[in-house]
Amino acid sequence: MPEGDSIFRAARGLHRALAGRTVSGFESVFPRLTNPLEDRALIGEVIERVEAHGKHLLMWFSGGRVLRTHMRMHGSWHIYRHGERWQRPRHEMRIVVETPEFIAVGFNVPVAELGPAATIAGGEPLRDLGPDPLRDDFDAERAVNRIAERSETEIADALLDQRAIAGIGNVYKSEALFAAAVNPFTIVRELTNEEIAAIVAVAVRFLRANVADSSRGMVTYSGLRRTTGRFDPGARLWVYGRGGKPCRRCGTPIQRARQGPYARSTYWCPACQRRTSDGTP
């Protein structure tokens, strides 16, 4: 599933290509987006902005409506010039937003809704989101408090709870907990607010480092995320995806396990990551 940094980069690329431009065509396989009485109303409207909120991508139109999409596991947005060959087959197309200059195509997007801005912003998916580390209004203290409220939850699962902190997925969950030296199966109540704050700070640092503006223009899908600071593609992450391989710090084999109600993959170093700050196992 794309994490907050991927959605942020996609929104930035779409914004650069589409903001301020007029919609000249709109197409979707979702009947609820193409009501024959309403769909053509988008044509002629100006795309005001495209932005990310957690794992949601929002496209704002001058007529007062917003298109919200969520990528889930396999969705993505691409940008093309007219006549340019698509990188994915047409049968994977779910949404097309066309302007005289560019075409934005949403492939395999499983969740989409188009409606009045107030309805979208006030709807449950966005209303209940926790603070987003990649937004200018990110409130770290509120994120810490929301995580602390999940006192009987394992910390790795608490970080995945989008109502506690938005945008973190399996990769950043595992990477942040490794960098903070916290075992992913630690119950939240066993951690102090200072320890939770340290985890949040690392997650924020990792996420923001991976959305640094590379001046690549309108690209929405590129690059491999890094948390180690190394440019070698084989050394870009500390623990995620490295089950059985030696820890980059101590050499202990990295462990992998399914965790939580959705059996999400978690990676950790049993030697480097303690349950609590005093080393209690």
3-state secondary structure 241-254: CCCCCECCCCCCEC
Catalytic residue check, 245: no
* Given the residues 12, 48, 51, 55, the one annotated as active site: 55
* Given the residues 2, 131, 133, 184, the one annotated as active site: 2
Positive or negative, the CA dihedral 238, 239, 241, 246 is: positive
Catalytic residue check, 55: yes
Residues 277, 195: contact at Cβ < 8 Å?
yes
DSSP for 118-152 reads: HHHHHSHHHHT----TTSTT--HHHHHHHHHH-TT
* Given the residues 256, 264, 274, 275, the one annotated as active site: 264
Residues 172, 226: contact at Cβ < 8 Å?
no
* Given the residues 3, 48, 98, 154, the one annotated as active site: 3
Beta strand pairing call for 93-98 and 264-268: unpaired
DSSP for 42-95 reads: GTT-BEEEEEEETTEEEEEETTSEEEEEE-TTT-EEEEEETTPPPSS-GGGEEE
Q: Is 174 helix (H, G, I), strand (E, B) or coil?
A: helix
Residues 187, 177: contact at Cβ < 8 Å?
no
Nearest to 113 by CA among 173, 214, 38: 38
Catalytic residue check, 3: yes
Host H or E run for residue 36: none
Catalytic residue set:
2-3, 55, 264
